[in-house]
Amino acid sequence: MAAEHLRLHTLCHSVEDAAQAVQADKADFVKNVCMIDGEGHLLVAIVKGEDRASTSRVGKALLIPPPRLALEQEMLQLAGYPAGGIPSFGFTATFLIDPKVLEQEFVYTGGGSPYSLTRISVQEMMRVNQAIIARVRK
């Protein structure tokens, strides 16, 4: 996989913190919003850093009832990563990428901990996570 893993000395629990830490624009970041469907499966809505994910739109995209947001302990158990460090790939989940993310050539995403980021091309991210492209932002 072609990506750059960045270990930081500052906590990057928000897009603002992360952008400041790597001196990048907030528009270059994505958020990975974890949700749980009715059968307990992990879903990850990938949206631009300034956007919010919609459970109802995720449900419509997958033709299921709206999922619920995952709890922090569920994220750790199902993805293997803590909240604030969830990457856009690398674990078993259904990934959905909002079309606005496709406007970027490269993005920063969670790097596995609140102290790390990964810089990856959107095309590479889509290749490795086999995402569904669907409007999932509010």
Whole-prediction pTM value?
A: 0.93
Domain-by-domain residue ranges, the chain? 3-133
pLDDT tens sequence for the chain (138 residues): 788 887 887 777 778 888 888 888 888 999 999 999 999 999 999 999 999 999 999 999 999 999 999 999 999 999 999 988 899 999 999 999 999 999 999 999 999 888 899 999 999 999 999 999 999 999
Q: Element (H or E) spanning 97, and its range?
A: strand 94-97
Q: Which neighbouring-strand residues pair with 133?
A: 97
CATH number for the domain formed by residue range(s) 3-133: 3.90.960.10
